[in-house]
């Protein structure tokens, strides 16, 4: 099973393009520097809300990434565009990643 981080957040429409432009650098930083990072999906919801689904190899990998926060430039640039984190949840998959 894979650990899943699910974060719902708010970004004003005026910064949506900047958020999308910052996303690739954030993902590169995660790939290069976060043990257990398996991938992520960003979903635009109604209004100014977004859902970020991040896949981790283990709960410990997710916990360590959360502890480190935005400690790299690409991650910080993405995080800085978020006005409000609405919720964060952790779960596990029942299907393989990519299925």
**Domains with residue ranges and CATH for the chain:** 3-91 (3.30.70.100)
Q: 92: buried, middle or exposed (CB in 10 Å: 19+, 13-18, 0-12)? A: exposed
Query: Quick check: helix, strand or coil at residue 57?
Result: coil
Residue 65: band (very low, low, confident or very high) from pLDDT cuts 50, 70, 90: very high
Does residue 51 surpass a pLDDT of 80?
A: yes
Of the candidates 12, 26, 31, the one whose C-alpha atom is nearest the C-alpha of residue 81 is 12
Non-local CB neighbours of 32 within 8 Å, separated by 6+ positions: none
Give the model's pLDDT for residue 98. 62
Q: Which two tokens stand for residue 74?
A: 């690409």
* Residues 77 and 25: beta-carbon distance below 8 Å: yes
40: alpha, beta or left, given left = phi > 0 and alpha = psi -120 to 50? beta
**pTM for the full model?**
0.91
Mean pLDDT of the chain: 95
CA distance 78 to 81: 6
């Amino acid at each position: 099973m894979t650990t899943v981080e699910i974060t719902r957040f708010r970004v004003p429409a005026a910064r949506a393009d900047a958020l999308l432009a910052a996303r690739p650098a954030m993902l590169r930083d995660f790939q290069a520097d976060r043990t257990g990072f398996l991938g992520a999906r960003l979903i635009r919801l109604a209004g100014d809300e977004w859902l970020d689904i991040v896949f981790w190899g283990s709960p410990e990998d997710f916990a360590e990434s959360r502890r480190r926060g935005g400690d790299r430039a690409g991650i910080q640039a993405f995080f800085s565009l978020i006005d409000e984190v609405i919720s964060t949840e952790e779960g596990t998959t029942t299907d393989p990643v990519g299925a």
